[in-house]
Amino acid sequence: MITVGSVGLDSDIMASLVGTEARSTGGAGLAELARRFDNQEFDLVAIGRAILGDAQWVQKVKEGRYGELKPFTRDDLAFLTSEDLSFLESRRTGE
């Protein structure tokens, strides 16, 4: 079982696509995720936008260096491939 969506961020991918800037939840927001993982509600956690914001995200979280996390911003989407952009546009328009 895998969980995905808004890990480390306060709003979902659709909000990012229509212009809302997500904010990092920091360590506090990950405590509930850790509780559910420890409760064996899932086996894997997928990270999307947070990794685009900071490629070192996993390492920093593993080491508890929450204050060093570079937040995801919509500007990070500027570095995506055409395949990424096509996928995101299809999600935004529902086509």
Residues forming contacts to ligand FMN in the complex (CB under 6 A) are 4-7, 9, 12-13, 47-50, 80, 84, 87-88
Least CB distance to ligand FMN at residue 58 (A) = 12
Q: How far is the CB of 40 from ligand FMN (least distance, A)?
A: 21
- Measured from the CB atom, the residue of 39 and 82 that comes closer to ligand FMN is 82
3-state secondary structure the chain: CEEECCCCECCCHHHHHCCCCCCECHHHHHHHHHHHHHCCCCCEEECCHHHHHCCCHHHHHHCCCHHHCCCCCHHHHHHCCHHHHHHHHHHHHCC
CB 39, min distance to ligand FMN, A: 20
